[in-house]
Structure 1
C-alpha cells in the first residue's frame, strides 16, 4: 500500500535533484529522504530515480509517478484550501515565515503576546531566506521584502525598513573614517547575499566604496551584524537592528542607503480563517507601532560622523509600546 508521505518525499527529491536540498525543504535528515525513496520504490517494485553526477534524475517510471503524484498533491491542496478556509475557531496552528533577522528581532517579540489572549493558537515561526510556498501550504503567512506577483496571493504593505552604513569604533580607530571621495581605499566591506540584503543595497555599498576590499560575505544579516561589531569591516545593515547595538556607529554617507518595504502575504483562500486573520491583524498593528524605529523619516538626521544613542532609545520606546 502506498504511503502519501513517501510520495511527498519523492516529489521533493525529484524537484530538487539532490538529497541536501530535499532534506532542507522537508526539514528532515538526508537519511530520512533516502529511506522514504527506498520505501516507495520497494512498494512499487521499480526504480524511480537514478543517482547521477548531475543529481537524481527520474527514470521513465519516475516521470509517470511524478505526474500522478503532482495531480494528487494539487487535489489535496485544493481540499485543504477549501475546507481550511471555513474553519471558524480561534484555535490551531498558524505558520509564519520570514527572513532570519525579521523573525528574531521583530516577529518573535511581536507574536509572543498572542498566547496570553489566545491559548489555543500555536504559532510556528519559520526563519528561512527562501520564499516558502503559501500555495503549497509550506506556510500560512509570509513577511517579505519583495512584492509577490502571484494571483492567488493577497499582499499588503505593513511598513518599510531603513538601512545605513555601520562600523565598530575599534574598526574606525584601526582604519580611519571612510573617505568616500576617494572610493574608501584601505577599507574593508562585509557584504550579504541573502536574508534581508538585496542587490540594490549591495550595489549602493559598492558604489559608496568601489576601492574597498570585501573581507567577508555572508547569507545571514545577523552574522553581518556580529562581524561588524567585532571590527570586521563596513556593513550595510537594517537600522532597526544595528541602531540597537551600542558597539556600532552609523556613518554619514553621501547618499542614503536604499530602503525596503515590508509586505504581509497570505493565500486568498486562507485570509478569512479566523486564527490567520487574527495573526495578520496583530502583525499589522505591531509594525505600525514600530514604524518610526523601522524607518526614521530622515535617515541622516542627527548625524555628525556617527551617533546611535538617541536612535537606540527611540527603538526601545517604540518596541515597548507594541507589547
Structure 2
C-alpha cells in the first residue's frame, strides 16, 4: 500500500499574515482553479462569477504571501508553492465536506417521536420542561408512556426513562433529582396501633405494600429489607 506524502511548505521569505491568517472558504476557490484549470470553469463549478474567483484567489495569495497560480496561454497552472499547498487544501476540503454532511445528518435526525416513560404522578412536574424542549426542537414530539413498571429501553419499549434507582450498565444515566421517601399513617391508625419510632418498629405494623409492577423500585426493595416480616395488609 502506497502513501502520498506532502512536501513541507517553504517558509523563507514568506509573508504570512499570522494575525489574520486566511479565510478557510478561500481554499475552495484555489481547489476549483487547480481542478478545472481556469477561473471561468472554476466559477461555473462554484456557481459564482469569474471575478469572484479571481478576487478570492488573489486574497488567499496575499494572506499566504505566495503566488499560487500562474497565467499560461492554456489557462492557469499551479506554482511550486501551489503544488505544495494542494494536498493540504484537499485535506481541509474533505474535512469541511465531512463536517457539512455530519451537521446535515444531525439536522435531519432532529425529527420524529421520543417515547418517554415515567410514573404518572411525575408528568405534571415535568410538563413545563417539555414545553421548553418543544420550543427548542419543534420537529420532535414527546410521547408519554406512563407506567409504574420499569420498561426495557434495550428492547425499545421506550427511548428515555425517568426512574429511581441505579443505572443499568448498558444504559447511559444522569442524576436529575433527589427522590425522598417516607412512611405515612393516618391519625386514626396511630391512635389505634401506635406510632413507629424506629425503622425496626415497622415489622409490628400493618403496611400497604407496592404491587408487582413496582417490585424493582428502590423503595420496594428497601421495605423488604427493613421489614421482611411486616404484615402487608393491602
Asked if TM exceeds 0.5, the reply is no
TM-score, length of structure 1 as denominator length: 0.32
TM-score, length of structure 2 as denominator length: 0.42
Name the structure, 1 or 2, with higher relative contact order (CA <8 Å, separation 6+). Answer: 1
